[in-house]
Structure 1
Amino acid sequence: MFIGLDIGTSSVKAILLDETQALIASASEPLTVQRPHPSWSEQDPDGWWSACEKAMDRLAAEVPSAMAAVKGIGLSGHMHGATLLGVDDQPLRPCILWNDGRSASQCAELEASEPKFLSLGGNRVMPGFTAPKLQWVRENEPEVFEKTAKVLLPKDYVRLKLTGEHAGDMSDSAGTLWLDVAKRDWSDELLAATGLTREHMPRLVEGSENSGQLRAELCQRWGMSAAPVVAGGGGDNAASACGVGAVTPGSGFVSLGTSGVVFVTNDKFSPNVESAVHAFCHAVPSTWHQMGVILSATDSLNWLANTLDASPADLTGELGEITGPSPVHFLPYLGGERTPHNDVDIRAGFYGIAHDTDRRALTHAVLDGVAFALKDCMAALEAAGSSVERLTAVGGGSRSAAWLEIIASLLNVTIDVPADGDFGASLGAARLGQAAATGTVDGVFTAPPMSTSIEPRSDLTNAYADAYGRWRQLYPALKQAGF
């Protein structure tokens, strides 16, 4: 038996699989995000742990015999979060999350003072990453910075609670900007740029390796007959790739979650900093990946649903057959954007609203706008040398067939849809736990059964290509106008 624990932004999810990777049980617990100031986004690290405890308690109560046989636990989590611990391993302040934008000025200063962030780190210095967050703390909360003994990522704080070990995996750690991504090791030069050393960092392991064993008191609490190993795990997107079998070069997925991602696996480190592509280590050894990331995918649809006092399912259910692009354009930049603009200040908006614009047209525009932003991501990946003919759909937005039709036609790729619709980070985490427990990756990261494959529609491809060309003109026009 193997457990996958996924520390998401909005919830913690725990799943229990048997040796054939069949789902035995699952549990989830909600999380909340605090926004004490504009563009800030924080969470209490102990909230993650409390949610994990509750989810694991539920599994132990529901399937005690299966929990007794657990051999491995894998972890995944939202990336880039700055979790600052004192010498007593207690959090010194709330974690600064991936979608926090406060460190924009520190980003520009770090890029100018240490060009190796772009070469060794392989990524633009963006407010979402961990390094500029620490520089912000260094400048604005010096008393906290001086007390900081360890900097952990969210899932690695949970690992500390599970095992007592300070450890992190390659894929998640690459998102700090302190990693020499090609060498899969901490960079002393990049750490020094933010006043840190290796002593502040966890030890590094591969995602499929054993990082420690579950504490004895937790084994007793959850009824485990022997202490399971805890795998290195992965950042949420790398773990999702493990869940859908995207671990070989040229394989990939498109994620329609809170954020949106186009993910492609590579056999080498392949950065494209000019277009804000994320180039990271994968969660499996000797493998890397590229990502184009947009900050507001289903977040855009959820915003519209809340504004219109409707549910996302209601809105997408009203669309009917997609016969072409919406006459209204939507820029999905609710909290800024990463790929390709790296612009924390740009904001969302509609263009082309007329007297007859109804909520169906607005919904259609939101789906189109997110798809256009994912096309931006695909173009940036292609410029970095990636080529992909099919992608697996993951995330809550993948339940919308209309949305996937738009994306397939615009990106001109086949989109495969998993049969049960829930092959995401928690499954990948459980698979990494299985690899760590068994000591092999062979046969662990297979593609799940697919329910359908969505081909590009020839009647949509040209129309959407034209609409994308018009949509692409909006961002530079807004920036030129000072927005």
Structure 2
Amino acid sequence: MLFLGIDLGTSSIKVSVVEADSQKTLCSVQYPETEEEIISPRAGWAEQDPERWWINTRQAIQKAHATQKYNPLDIVAIGIAYQMHGLVVVDKEQQSLRNSIIWCDSRAIEIGNKAFDVIGKSYNLQHHLNSPGNFTASKLSWVKENETHTYKQVHKVMLPGDFIAAKLTGEITSSISSLSEGVFWDFQNNRLSESILNYFGFDESLFPEIKPVFSEHGQIQPVIAHELGLSSQVRVTYKAGDQPNNALSLNVLEPGEVASTAGTSGVIYGISDQLVYDNESRINTFAHVNYLPDKIRTGILLCINGTGILYSWAKKLLAKELSYSEMNKIAQSISSGSNGLRILPFGNGAERMLNNKLIGAHLANIDFNQHSTAHILKAIQEGIAFSFRYGLDIMKENGLIPKIIKAGNSNLFLSEVFQKDYVNATQIPVELYENDGSVGAALGAGIGSGYYKTPSEAFKNIRKIKTIEPQETEVYEEIYQEWKELLNEKLKTT
């Protein structure tokens, strides 16, 4: 018996196939090999074509089959993880009506800020745990205000993972976790938020059927099963945003446990048993995968838009011929502090932890006679680590004080330079695990299908690679304070 996991990322689709009994990963692939582009028609806008996601998903599954490491007909369930907060709107034929307005898009900030004020800051925070900000509800309102013809054709509103599930099954479903990440969920009344729907003028019929995260979200359509070489009995039994899914993949499920990622964006995600919120909505609280109204498990999320995307940008400009591993080796030759070079990594849309300000990325103190590509690559990783520290301090203000942080051995955490920078900047040890979002989604499918009785059972064989301990905290604290002073100067003038 096998489970298939799909991780719909910003840069690619990842697919893994996992054997149920052993929890062994038989195959992991990604498609395309090169990073997918973010479409940006205007400054601050960020879109991707949902139909492109579907094409890439099918290609990724076929690529996995081509390894011949398993029999595709042994796959019984599919789990889906996806980039959070994106808006997908479809017509009655389930065809996407426009590009998805994705997570790092900033066009709807003022719409969300106005809703925060008019509905009431206290009410929003108590009921939604967030400001509408630039989340999915505000993006839908932007379409309603600016693309009336498109809005009139909308049959259902979805998150990115819902769209892929619908393409597989023909059924459109959602969950409390997904709706909360769009700021559509009222935690106090345990239902779709009447205040959000009424304020924006959304009809409740636009929203899909609500099901538990771990449950059947539809059976694969026969024509799709035939195309993908799968059994027609395969079911989608799990869907979750990438950060709740990453936490699940690391067995981060109970209060006080904390996970982190550093892909295109950077995230710290901690679990609470309270309906907590930041008064300025700089960090955000959503329903975790195991949330129940009578057993609260929320995920407190710090998101930094400009992390791995900055490193990718630097590769294109400075190190086209090098692999990321080779870039990391070059950066390793530079000592802590990058010889005074400082980088603010905020060039990928408005940053929520900076009160939704668009300050852009900044490179400061560059000396043409002293600084090389190696210094820039090192300063980038330090700047990203310092942005994590800045956000973590906000999380501590709100009562989340991690003793240890769990992370998967992927993306920037593959870099020993970044590992060192991260733990020394945050002053918190990191446990690094053999972990992948698509593997987590596959095991999530096992939970949703009922094969595993509990999430802990599904992840009992998770393998820890190492623990990274802080060692140069005093040195990094001094460098961080210089970095923070630079950031504060930019915030004052923005």
TM-score range, shorter chain: over 0.9
**Against the structure 1 CA distance between its residues 124 and 424, is the aligned structure 2 distance closer, same or farther, given a 3 Å change threshold?**
farther
Q: Is the 8 A contact 2:137 2:182 kept in 1?
A: yes
Q: Which of residues 160, 165, 182 in structure 1 aligns to 2:166?
A: 160
Output the amino acid matched with 1:24. Answer: L
Q: Is the 8 A contact 2:13 2:57 kept in 1?
A: yes
SS of residue paired to 1:263: strand
Q: Does 1:126 align with 2:133?
A: yes
CA distance in 1, matches of 2:27, 2:7: 14
Q: Which moved more, 1:92-101 or 1:340-349?
A: 340-349
CA distance in 2, matches of 1:275, 1:469: 24
SS of residue paired to 2:71: helix
Q: Is the 8 A contact 2:79 2:443 kept in 1?
A: yes
Q: Does 1:301 align with 2:303?
A: no
Q: Does 1:403 align with 2:418?
A: yes
Q: Is the 8 A contact 1:277 1:340 kept in 2?
A: yes
CA distance in 1, matches of 2:54, 2:190: 28
CA distance in 2, matches of 1:8, 1:140: 27
Unaligned runs of 5+ in 2: none
Output the amino acid matched with 1:83. Answer: V
Q: Does 1:76 align with 2:90?
A: no
- Deviation of residue 126 (structure 1)? 2.5
1:272 maps to 278
Output the amino acid matched with 1:298. Answer: G
1:466 maps to 478
1:352 maps to 365
Q: Which moved more, 1:93-102 or 1:59-68?
A: 59-68
CA distance in 1, matches of 2:163, 2:231: 25
**Against the structure 1 CA distance between its residues 184 and 450, is the aligned structure 2 distance closer, same or farther, given a 3 Å change threshold?**
farther
**Against the structure 1 CA distance between its residues 211 and 183, is the aligned structure 2 distance closer, same or farther, given a 3 Å change threshold?**
farther
Q: Which moved more, 1:301-310 or 1:2-11?
A: 301-310
Q: Is the 8 A contact 1:117 1:177 kept in 2?
A: no
Q: Is the 8 A contact 1:166 1:202 kept in 2?
A: yes
**Against the structure 1 CA distance between its residues 44 and 319, is the aligned structure 2 distance closer, same or farther, given a 3 Å change threshold?**
closer
1:200 maps to 206
1:56-205 matches, cutoff 5 A: 56-63=61-68, 66-115=71-120, 116-127=123-134, 129-181=135-187, 185-205=191-211
**Against the structure 1 CA distance between its residues 314 and 63, is the aligned structure 2 distance closer, same or farther, given a 3 Å change threshold?**
closer
**Residue deviations 1:123-159, cap 9 Å, x none?**
13332x1111111112111111222121111110111
SS of residue paired to 1:283: coil
SS of residue paired to 2:17: strand
- Deviation of residue 357 (structure 1)? 2.0
Q: Which moved more, 1:219-228 or 1:202-211?
A: 219-228
CA distance in 1, matches of 2:469, 2:288: 28
- Deviation of residue 447 (structure 1)? 6.6
Q: Is the 8 A contact 1:3 1:70 kept in 2?
A: yes
Q: Is the 8 A contact 1:243 1:445 kept in 2?
A: yes
Q: Is the 8 A contact 1:188 1:197 kept in 2?
A: no
- Deviation of residue 336 (structure 1)? 3.7
Output the amino acid matched with 1:139. Answer: E
Q: Is the 8 A contact 1:389 1:413 kept in 2?
A: yes
- Deviation of residue 429 (structure 1)? 0.9
CA distance in 1, matches of 2:175, 2:333: 44
**Against the structure 1 CA distance between its residues 415 and 64, is the aligned structure 2 distance closer, same or farther, given a 3 Å change threshold?**
closer
CA distance in 2, matches of 1:120, 1:166: 26
Q: Is the 8 A contact 2:319 2:327 kept in 1?
A: no
Q: Which moved more, 1:320-329 or 1:105-114?
A: 320-329
CA distance in 1, matches of 2:334, 2:428: 17
Output the amino acid matched with 2:351. Answer: R
**Against the structure 1 CA distance between its residues 79 and 135, is the aligned structure 2 distance closer, same or farther, given a 3 Å change threshold?**
same
Q: Which moved more, 1:171-180 or 1:155-164?
A: 171-180
SS of residue paired to 2:40: coil
Q: Is the 8 A contact 1:277 1:293 kept in 2?
A: yes
CA distance in 1, matches of 2:111, 2:437: 31
Q: Which moved more, 1:43-52 or 1:323-332?
A: 323-332
Q: Paired residues, what number?
A: 476
- Deviation of residue 6 (structure 1)? 1.1
CA distance in 1, matches of 2:351, 2:190: 24
Q: Is the 8 A contact 1:259 1:293 kept in 2?
A: yes
User: TM-score w.r.t. structure 1 length?
Assistant: 0.93
2:46 maps to 41
1:381 maps to 395
Q: Which of residues 214, 226, 230 in structure 1 aligns to 2:220?
A: 214
Report % sequence identity: 24
